[in-house]
Chains A and B, each alone.
Chain A
Amino acid sequence: MGWFNLLVKDVREHGFAMLLLGVGFILVVFLALEQQLSGAFSMSGFEVVRFSLITNVPLIAFILGNRLIVKEYIGGTRKFVEALPIKPYTPLLVKYILGLFYIITLCVLVVMIVAGTASAAEDIDKTYLQLLIIKTAAIGLLYWSVVFFVSLTGRIRLVLYVLMGLALMYFINVPSIDETRFAPLALMDRQLFVFEREIFPWGELIQTALIALGFVVAGFVLALLNEGSIAEQLGKPISRRDMVAFALLGLGCMTVYSTLQKKWETPFYELSGAQVIRVSEPVIAVSYVEDQYLTQAQRVVDSLQQVISDFKADVGIDQLPQVQVVLNTDLEKTEIEPELTDGVLVTANFIQYDDFEYDMLSSIAMHHLLLSLTNGRWDYETRHWLLDGLARWWADGGENARDSVHNDELFALALVALRRIKLSDNPLHTWQTITDNYGFEAASAMSYSALLYLEEQKGTDMIVQLAADYINEDIGSSVVESVQSKFLSDAARFENITGIEFTAFTAQWFEWLKAKESEPVVAELLDAVPRIEGEIKSVVDERGVHRLEASFSKREGYIDGVEGTCVLRHQLASAYDRETMIYTIERDRQPCKTNGVAHTIESPYAAGDRVYGLLEFESERFHRPIPLWVGRIHVK
């Protein structure tokens, strides 16, 4: 009857606390039940059972484990018990059974409380109740078994709990794992746990019981192996050696973490359907959704085929990712949305494109093709100019780019931006700011002109060599790549390849570009852009209405009567700056007047908001609007 005496001893020692815990537990269950019933989207009171299994029951199990097992093992009082003439596993078995009985009682109790207070409309029958009780008890069994094992790990138990919690969180949250297919999580499925009334998940129940058994066996082995010396050691304060072990455990977890990052084989996404033109060399597909747009789609295919074939030949690459273009007639003509999905996927509205726009589309597709070849690294700020420039360079004919019919417009775009740029920093090194302030079209035009200058100085082969150097690089995705980049800056790399000192190159390129101002067509285009600067302010009018107001002032060389429209655009911005562009379609179009307020619109923003504002100039002489002012406004 040794086991009985031990049971009485444990009940005497912990009975009152267990009673208190039980009361607290029931209190929480009732609160949760009340909260559930008053919830806006409450389906069933039995959801409280699952809620309790996720929150209260593990907590109770943890507390009980602490009292029943941890205290004796850390305090060393178990030695008195072990000195008694009983089998060495008996005290542990008594504790396990007592704890299990208690936890399962609470689990069953919560089901019974909910069933007792449920409305008759819940349609509770015997099978449903049995099903709920069995599932709840199985989870209770697992919890107690886990706690039983971890409680025997002494001082490291908290670390183990945290690690197990993190692993569970990871398992649940990582999108590449479907946790609902594995026990015990499958048993706890949000929908099945409460709302499956007929099917008994025997497989999951058995798996859960086996996992629980595994923990119990591990617990007994830990406690009894070598006469309990391991458990005793674990009960002692943490030594430096233990600390090292923890660190190793942490590293082990990291390894598991990276191993679990399972790469799922997804089928290759290829545009399908009757309205798709597909060519295989290079792999290009264009979807045109309606037969009436076939001609335009063919033009896109031809343009891309030319550009990508030239690129392949120049750089000498055999295999390239596919490039797919999707027609979306809902987009504005100027909206081109690229993404890296199984190669390059560009969405655009190309039904009213002219040559310039087709080249712009090719340029953006090339941009992402180059980005995909360099593991997304080429848009790092100090080398991004090269990516933009090369994409445009190949889109405009590669070695024939110097004779492109779009050069005058691109030079003018670059020069307009250059007028506003403060040249204290090398613009090619502050590419994020350049793109943010002057628009990606102007940034692209600037970098393109820089490459044309380089080509003029060093020949076409130098451009290709520069591109090949980046394309053929093996790019990693970890901190190693970041550290490696610090050893060879992009400026130094440029110098190594071209033999031109980067700062000198920038200065010479500026001069070369400025000289283009005097070319008649460029000069004419430059005169078609008003020399004004603007600013947006947030004001509150006399009625208390928040408004955004923009006004313009003359710059040096102002010419009156320039044809075109000034446009105000805006969108909510975060407190943190990021590279962005405006996605809203609302535009306030007004004449570009320099006396007084040019734009005044009602603002949907409130005090404290941050607004990304843009003033741009639209003219028939340019394919794209020209940014005049970009800034982030703090609404006060």
Chain B
Amino acid sequence: MISLIRKELKQLMPFALLWFCLVVMFYGAELATVRIDEQSYLGWCDQYCDVGTNVDIALFTILLYMIAAYSLFPREFDDYTVDFLRSLPLSRTSIFISKVLAAWILLCFLLVLDRIIQAAFLLMNTQTITGKHYWNIDLQFLLRDSLFAFVIVAHGVFLSWFRTVGLILYCIYLVSLIWLEQAAGVSGIYNIFSFFNNEYDGTNLLLDWTTIGFHITVALILLLISYMLWTRTDSKPSAPRRGKVTKLLLSIGLSIVSFLFVAGYMVSMTQRSVIESVDSGIRKLQTEHFHFSYRDVNESAMRKLEPFVEPDYQALVALLGAQTQPIIHADMTSDSEHALGLASWKKIRMVLESEDEVDPLYRRVLSHETAHVFQAVESDRMLAKAGGSVGFFIEGMAQYTSFSIVPDPESRQSNWLISSVAWDRHNIKFEEMVNRSVFESLYDPELLYGIGDIWVDAMAQACGEESIGNFLRAVKRKEAAPNLSGPTYWRYHLQHIGCELEEVNNLWRKLMQEAIEQQSAGAFPYFDNVVVTRSEATDLITISAELRADESGILPQYYYLRVQSEAKLANTVSPVLNGKLVTEGARATVEFAVLPRLIDGKRFRYQLGYTPVPDSRTYFDKWRSGAVPD
């Protein structure tokens, strides 16, 4: 057996070489650009150690391990060398086990080697804090990654029997996971990426043994099936027909089943779209700059909206001094619960439900989304390319222009108030606003709309309203460095249009302070003494908080809880749940019931909120940490 494993290890040398090339490239680049005695454990570890799941790293690792697993059996069979092996006095079982073991041993060895290299480099850093090595975490990572390697080898050995078609099967599995996450919010233990979910308890890495156990069990089953498949498969065409016929029958069977599935699915989808078009009846409306599609039940609303669309469009063109006037395709049939409107390049997709009269909300949403189209077109997509640095401006500018074109002082005032209170209570800084992921990890992501609106208003006041359009065009100039981000991005681009970031920021803070000082309505109570409990009988998790009224002395009517969904692959929305207000004399408490399936693992994050002004946006507190009680 040992000789067999040694032989297999030798055959896996090209894979080890591939790994070596990657290591040389990675560490070579690091050594050439970084002073390694300043590089900390976290510096080496980077996103691999971050809390949560890094899908990119997991996917890359899966791909790498799959290469190793795929190089075990198929080539041996395709090159007929398996016949030589089988002619030796060795059982097929030992051949199978030695191959699987060899791949796993090699991967474990490479994992250990990688840890040793990092530890050796870290030894160069003798600093008392950044030079610390976390041996306990290292060992836990090593254990987890070794088990992960075993699982992926098992997957690979099984899939490689189907040769390259196996990769399609894996692709189906991954797409199904995304689907599951979108449908159920979480994909639970079925998700192989959960293996790479980093959760810490103090300075200890928590391993999710339920997920690991599940995948190891699946891996063992797959290995058993693979054992039966590989040990009963022959190499040559001249070999007994049974294996080939079985394989052929299996392929035909699989093909028929797949065809039936696809055909059935296609018919059902076609039926659905037919039913949809019959039931809802899509109508078209064309104006000078818009091509609308809408449901005939919304004919009245659309007809009432129509007189406004071109004047609103022209008002936006004038406000931005736009140099191009794109034709926009507006699909008004969205029934999304999460967004009234979406825009991408020259397309808008939005909800239109009102049948009686044109709700100014829809007119404003259309104007808001049209502003997004102009952002993309005027900046030639360069604004979106700046990603997290401009998120607040993208939404804030669309809010600013839509409120300018379709005024709604009451709604805007409440938005400003909520944003200003949040800014004041949370000490929100511009540096956080220009890093969307940081902002969203700390605060309510929707705050960017209101707080961005105030910022753009400050920009218009400090640098003139024309600065908004000028800024869009400034970011697309060819000589603009594409590697700017954060405050630097804003300093350089604003400087180009003769505007000073510090002046805008100063005015922005003043406007928010004024909004707080001029508050005449609304209640912004505080949440105190938050308790998380779990019912043993129902498994339901309850989060309760005492309410402490602010200066107004009144309490809002509606309360909400946002639980952070742990979706790993899909772009899903964190669920928002309603709360129940309980008052006992002067004591007021709000309670939220959370279904356990919304929480993946033991730890979760949540935000408590309320509607401070009737019909306003929700005010959410900062994110809090929660743990499911045992």
A residues at B contact (CB < 8 Å) = 16-17, 19-21, 23-28, 30-35, 38-44, 55-56, 59-60, 62-63, 66-67, 71, 75, 113, 116-123, 155, 158-159, 162-163, 166, 175-178, 180, 189, 191-192, 194-198, 238, 243, 246-247, 249-251, 253-254, 257-258, 261, 264-267, 269-273, 275-276, 287, 289-290, 326-330, 341, 377, 380-382, 430-433, 436, 476-479, 481-482, 485-486, 543-546, 572, 574-579, 584-585, 602, 604-610, 634-636
A43-B347, A121-B282 known; A192 vs B259 contact (CB < 8 Å): no
B129 & A191 in contact (Cβ 8 Å cutoff): no
**7 more CB-based (< 8 A) A-B contacts, given A120-B293, A576-B134:** A26-B262, A66-B164, A158-B14, A271-B502, A380-B37, A482-B36, A608-B199
1/0 contact string of B261-273 vs chain A (CB within 8 Å): 1100110011001
1/0 contact string of B1-26 vs chain A (CB within 8 Å): 00000000000011001100110110
26 A-B pairs whose Cβ atoms sit less than 8 Å apart in the complex: A17-B165, A23-B262, A24-B168, A31-B179, A32-B175, A40-B572, A42-B336, A56-B171, A62-B164, A119-B277, A119-B282, A120-B282, A120-B293, A175-B482, A178-B482, A195-B346, A250-B21, A253-B25, A258-B33, A267-B492, A271-B502, A328-B502, A329-B509, A479-B36, A585-B427, A602-B528
- In the complex, A29 Cα to B364 Cα: how many Å? 36
Contacts of A607 in B (CB 8 A): 201, 627
CB B610 to nearest CB in A, in angstroms, measures: 17
A159 & B29 in contact (Cβ 8 Å cutoff): no
Contacts of A576 in B (CB 8 A): 40-42, 45, 49, 132, 134, 203
A479 & B165 in contact (Cβ 8 Å cutoff): no
B413 at the interface (CB under 8 A from A): no
- In the complex, A269 Cα to B487 Cα: how many Å? 12
- In the complex, A432 Cα to B125 Cα: how many Å? 12
A433 & B34 in contact (Cβ 8 Å cutoff): no
CB B442 to nearest CB in A, in angstroms, measures: 10
A40 & B29 in contact (Cβ 8 Å cutoff): no
B205, B265, B344, B572: the one contacting A30 at CB < 8 Å is B265
CB A595 to nearest CB in B, in angstroms, measures: 25
A31 & B176 in contact (Cβ 8 Å cutoff): yes
CB A610 to nearest CB in B, in angstroms, measures: 5
A62, A196, A247: the one contacting B21 at CB < 8 Å is A247
A28-B168, A121-B333 known; A577 vs B129 contact (CB < 8 Å): yes
Closest to A26 in B: B262
Contacts of B506 in A (CB 8 A): 289-290, 327-329
Contacts of A155 in B (CB 8 A): 14
Interface stretch, picked from B93-101, B220-228, B303-311, B529-537, is B529-537
Closest to A238 in B: B14
B128 & A604 in contact (Cβ 8 Å cutoff): no
B129 & A243 in contact (Cβ 8 Å cutoff): no
Closest to A377 in B: B35
B167 & A266 in contact (Cβ 8 Å cutoff): no
Q: Which of B291-306 contact A (CB under 8 A)?
A: 291, 293-294
A28 & B481 in contact (Cβ 8 Å cutoff): no
B617 at the interface (CB under 8 A from A): no
CB B205 to nearest CB in A, in angstroms, measures: 8
- In the complex, A323 Cα to B496 Cα: how many Å? 21
A197-B329, A330-B509, A477-B35 known; A40 vs B128 contact (CB < 8 Å): no
A196 & B345 in contact (Cβ 8 Å cutoff): yes
Contacts of B255 in A (CB 8 A): 19-20, 23
Contacts of B269 in A (CB 8 A): 30, 33, 117
Contacts of A24 in B (CB 8 A): 165, 168-169, 171-172, 258
A25 & B482 in contact (Cβ 8 Å cutoff): no
B587 at the interface (CB under 8 A from A): no
A250-B25, A272-B500 known; A27 vs B492 contact (CB < 8 Å): no
- In the complex, A307 Cα to B624 Cα: how many Å? 45
Contacts of A189 in B (CB 8 A): 381
A191-B345, A478-B34 known; A20 vs B251 contact (CB < 8 Å): yes
- In the complex, A257 Cα to B199 Cα: how many Å? 34
B384 & A191 in contact (Cβ 8 Å cutoff): yes
A195-B344, A197-B329, A604-B622 known; A575 vs B203 contact (CB < 8 Å): yes
Contacts of A602 in B (CB 8 A): 528-530
A610 & B282 in contact (Cβ 8 Å cutoff): no
Contacts of A44 in B (CB 8 A): 331, 347, 349
B168 & A59 in contact (Cβ 8 Å cutoff): yes
B365 at the interface (CB under 8 A from A): no
B345 & A162 in contact (Cβ 8 Å cutoff): no
Contacts of A31 in B (CB 8 A): 172, 175-176, 179
Q: For chains A and B in complex, what number of residue pairs have CB atoms within 8 angstroms?
A: 348
A433 & B129 in contact (Cβ 8 Å cutoff): yes
Contacts of B349 in A (CB 8 A): 43-44
The 5 closest A-B pairs by CB, nearest first: A195-B345, A24-B168, A634-B202, A63-B164, A264-B481
Q: Which of B95-133 contact A (CB under 8 A)?
A: 124, 126-132
B245 at the interface (CB under 8 A from A): no
Contacts of B571 in A (CB 8 A): 39-41
Closest to A166 in B: B25
B344 & A43 in contact (Cβ 8 Å cutoff): yes
B179 & A40 in contact (Cβ 8 Å cutoff): no
CB A336 to nearest CB in B, in angstroms, measures: 14
B284 at the interface (CB under 8 A from A): yes
Max chain A C-beta neighbours (<10 A), residue from B35, B67, B258, B532: B35
CB A200 to nearest CB in B, in angstroms, measures: 15
Q: Which of B171-209 contact A (CB under 8 A)?
A: 171-172, 175-176, 178-179, 182-183, 199-206
1/0 contact string of B514-554 vs chain A (CB within 8 Å): 00000000000000111111000000000000000000000
A543 & B531 in contact (Cβ 8 Å cutoff): yes
B502 & A287 in contact (Cβ 8 Å cutoff): yes
B573 at the interface (CB under 8 A from A): yes
A275 & B503 in contact (Cβ 8 Å cutoff): yes
A24-B168, A55-B171, A238-B14 known; A162 vs B495 contact (CB < 8 Å): no
- In the complex, A158 Cα to B284 Cα: how many Å? 51
B427 & A575 in contact (Cβ 8 Å cutoff): no
A35-B179, A159-B18 known; A432 vs B128 contact (CB < 8 Å): yes
A41 & B338 in contact (Cβ 8 Å cutoff): yes
A479 & B35 in contact (Cβ 8 Å cutoff): yes
B331 & A122 in contact (Cβ 8 Å cutoff): yes
CB B564 to nearest CB in A, in angstroms, measures: 13
A40 & B18 in contact (Cβ 8 Å cutoff): no
B203 & A634 in contact (Cβ 8 Å cutoff): yes
B338 & A40 in contact (Cβ 8 Å cutoff): yes
A27-B172, A328-B505 known; A177 vs B482 contact (CB < 8 Å): yes
- In the complex, A477 Cα to B183 Cα: how many Å? 49
A192-B345, A253-B25, A543-B529 known; A478 vs B502 contact (CB < 8 Å): no
A20 & B165 in contact (Cβ 8 Å cutoff): yes
- In the complex, A263 Cα to B206 Cα: how many Å? 41
A545 & B262 in contact (Cβ 8 Å cutoff): no
Q: Which of B559-576 contact A (CB under 8 A)?
A: 570-573
Contacts of B485 in A (CB 8 A): 175
Contacts of B483 in A (CB 8 A): 175-176, 264
Contacts of A27 in B (CB 8 A): 168, 172, 258, 261-262
Contacts of B346 in A (CB 8 A): 195-197
B254 at the interface (CB under 8 A from A): yes
Contacts of B291 in A (CB 8 A): 123
B29, B259, B495: the one contacting A269 at CB < 8 Å is B495
A27-B262, A177-B482, A543-B531 known; A121 vs B175 contact (CB < 8 Å): no
Closest to B178 in A: A35
A23 & B200 in contact (Cβ 8 Å cutoff): no
B24, B165, B498: the one contacting A21 at CB < 8 Å is B165
CB A188 to nearest CB in B, in angstroms, measures: 13
A578 & B40 in contact (Cβ 8 Å cutoff): yes
B282 & A606 in contact (Cβ 8 Å cutoff): no
B344 & A432 in contact (Cβ 8 Å cutoff): no
- In the complex, A56 Cα to B376 Cα: how many Å? 29
Max chain B C-beta neighbours (<10 A), residue from A247, A327, A330: A330
